[in-house]
Amino acid sequence: MMQIHNTLSRNKDFLRPVEPGKVRMYVCGMTVYDYCHLGHARMLVSFDVVQRWLRASGLEVRYVRNITDIDDKIIRRAVQTGRRISEVTTFFIDAMHADERALGVQSPDAEPRATEHVGDMLGIIARLEEKGLAYRADDGDVNYSVRSFPGYGKLSGRSLDDLRAGERVAVDTSKRDPLDFVLWKAAKPAEPADTRWDSPYGFGRPGWHIECSAMSKALLGLPLDIHGGGPDLKFPHHENEIAQTEGAYEQTLANIWMHCGPLMVDADKMSKSLGNFRTIRQTIARDASHEEHHEGEGDDWFNRREAEMLRFFIVRNHYRSALNYAPDNLNDAQNALDRLYRSLQAVRPDDAGIDWDHPSAQAFKAAMDDDFNAPGALAVLFELASEANRHASARAAGQLRGLGELLGLLQQDPEAYFKWPTRYRQKQETDSGGETGAALADAAIEALVAQRGEAKRARDFTRADALRAELRAAGIELDDKPGGVTVWRRA
């Protein structure tokens, strides 16, 4: 049986769906006021791998990942740019979807927007008020009474006294307790008209935490089999979700809670607030002109070799571990992924599909069933690549490609893959001082390869060797195939 580390129990728990054979999974998605950074990429790819493996295991998955499209940060961006809220959110949702496609992240089964579920949120708030868990404050907000919910702190493992001792926010005098959080925010006169909804509490908008309680219940019901998100959501967001949902309905919100690890830059978490973040686009865009989203741009803005490298960089680390962003780590990921593609280039994979009785597939399955141990699964892929190389085994290459697909990897044509330049490779490959492969255009490479072919046919091997050396200095490797065909790739 599949085991998953449960943040709530602090143990690996067996996955036992509420409805046998079906998994209901909810993951907290993006607040769409800016471009996705690499920390977001880590979350998106991690849970994409989770849902892929659940489906590959024969489970019927209903995967919901929400969009927060009303929030203080979104309002600020709209005011700063003089645009309507919907214009801001539509632009960054489109950019997010383009980023996802570049990284091979499959679309969730449903992607609700918070603004579509305000009525559901008000329904939960009314229930909480009836149960004495919510109150109307003097400033017009509706707040949750944290001390009225006995289980508060069970996810994060923090007691209320510990939380008070570590309090970092200024005391809001409209709250009965500083730990109380807002469920409904009263509209401010200066805020745009499209940021307010009518309600029994007056015009206003929902607090952040209530959004996910409403959307998860509306689309999946209770309890969820899996609830996931980024590491910074464990507290207070997910803790508050539990208090809201379980307080209102007296049912468990989720049986298993999953949190991916942080993306670090040196010793700090990558985040917009720290100013140390790098966007997905800055990392995989073909050039600087594509580092920002342009409406109607299509999917030709990114470097396909580097985009898969970024996915590989994320997948090769366990989803719960801290992942350190550094140029050398990206270089290493690019080189490792290139090695797998070289095997597929050298040995054409068969199309027999995955043989699940083969020891390699069994080892892959054992790794993934153990808390989605993708690094262990990747180790199997490298063993298959070695077997394919040693024995020119089309079957091993086929297993390699088939199992790679379950991680969202190795589905490009190797010849096309190696024609993409890359900024991420070990330094010694460009220390020769020659023009880099990234600078040498495809047409120029093809011309030099053709000249070398002509030289070989004329038996001018000195000229042919000089052209090969020139291409190698530019980061281009040649592979002479039977029949006089030469295939090139960027190192």
- Name the average pLDDT for the chain: 91
Q: Do residues 344 and 477 both lie within one domain? A: no
Q: Which residue, 199, 177, 242, 193, is CA-closest to 28? A: 242
Q: Do residues 369 and 475 both lie within one domain? A: no
> Of 245, 264, 283, which residue constitutes the final position of a domain?
264
272 is in an annotated binding site: yes
Question: 200: which 2 tokens?
Answer: 């029994």
With pLDDT > 90 as the criterion, what percentage of the chain qualifies?
78
Question: 356: which 2 tokens?
Answer: 């699940």
The answer to whether the beta carbons of residues 368 and 377 sit under 8 Å apart is yes
Cα 295 to Cα 173: distance, rounded to the nearest angstrom: 45
Beta bridge partners of 203: none
Q: Do residues 235 and 371 both lie within one domain? A: no
DSSP assigned state of 68: B
Lowest mean per-residue pLDDT among 96-105, 163-172, 474-483: 163-172
3-state secondary structure of 370: strand
pLDDT score at 426? 66
Inside any domain, residue 285 = no
* Tens digit of each residue's pLDDT (9 = 90 or more) over 183-237: 999 999 989 999 999 999 999 999 999 999 999 999 999 999 999 999 999 999 9
Q: What is the CATH number of the domain that holds 338?
A: 1.20.120.640
Inside any domain, residue 280 = no
Inside any domain, residue 434 = no
Does the pLDDT of residue 341 top 50, yes or no? yes
The domain in which residue 332 lies consists of: 303-418
pLDDT score at 164? 65
* Tens digit of each residue's pLDDT (9 = 90 or more) over 150-173: 999 999 998 887 776 555 555 557
Does the pLDDT of residue 443 top 90, yes or no? no
Question: 110: which 2 tokens?
Answer: 């449903």
Q: Do residues 482 and 334 both lie within one domain? A: no
Inside any domain, residue 72 = yes
| Other beta carbons within 10 Å of 252 | 14
Lowest mean per-residue pLDDT among 92-101, 384-393, 443-452: 443-452
pLDDT score at 219? 98
Q: Do residues 336 and 220 both lie within one domain? A: no
Total domains, the chain: 3
More confident: 427 or 84: 84
On whether the pTM is more than 0.85, the answer is: yes
Phi, psi at 323, each rounded to 5°: -115, 125
Does the pLDDT of residue 141 top 60, yes or no? yes
**Mean pLDDT computed over 477-483:** 81
Lowest mean per-residue pLDDT among 148-157, 292-301, 376-385, 462-471: 462-471
Q: Do residues 333 and 193 both lie within one domain? A: no
Reported as a pLDDT band with limits 50, 70 and 90, residue 361 is very high
Inside any domain, residue 270 = no
Inside any domain, residue 274 = no
Q: Do residues 405 and 453 both lie within one domain? A: no
Q: Do residues 465 and 408 both lie within one domain? A: no
Cα 387 to Cα 98: distance, rounded to the nearest angstrom: 36
> Of 204, 233, 264, which residue constitutes the final position of a domain?
264
Q: Which residue has the tokens 């270089």?
A: 331
Q: Do residues 479 and 375 both lie within one domain? A: no
28 is in an annotated binding site: yes
Counting every residue, how long is the chain?
491
More confident: 436 or 354: 354
Q: What is the CATH number of the domain that holds 46?
A: 3.40.50.620
Q: Do residues 20 and 80 both lie within one domain? A: yes
User: Which residue stretches of 256-354 are H helix?
Assistant: 280-284, 304-315, 327-346
36 is in an annotated binding site: no
Does the pLDDT of residue 430 top 50, yes or no? no
Inside any domain, residue 271 = no
With pLDDT > 70 as the criterion, what percentage of the chain qualifies?
94
Q: Do residues 402 and 472 both lie within one domain? A: no
Reported as a pLDDT band with limits 50, 70 and 90, residue 439 is low
pLDDT score at 464? 77
142 contacts: CB under 8 Å, gap ≥ 6: 125, 129, 134, 135, 136, 182, 183, 184, 201
pLDDT score at 441? 67
Element holding 136 (H helix, E strand): strand 134-136
Residue burial 424-460, b: 16+ Cβ < 10 Å; e: rest: bbeeebbeeebbbbbebeeeebeebbeebbebbeeee
> Of 418, 451, 477, which residue constitutes the final position of a domain?
418
Q: Do residues 181 and 233 both lie within one domain? A: yes
Reported as a pLDDT band with limits 50, 70 and 90, residue 349 is very high
* Tens digit of each residue's pLDDT (9 = 90 or more) over 253-292: 999 999 999 999 877 777 777 778 899 999 999 999 999 9
78 contacts: CB under 8 Å, gap ≥ 6: 84, 85, 87, 88, 192
Lowest mean per-residue pLDDT among 19-23, 332-336, 440-444: 440-444
pLDDT score at 435? 36
Phi, psi at 182, each rounded to 5°: -85, 135
* Tens digit of each residue's pLDDT (9 = 90 or more) over 112-124: 999 999 999 999 9
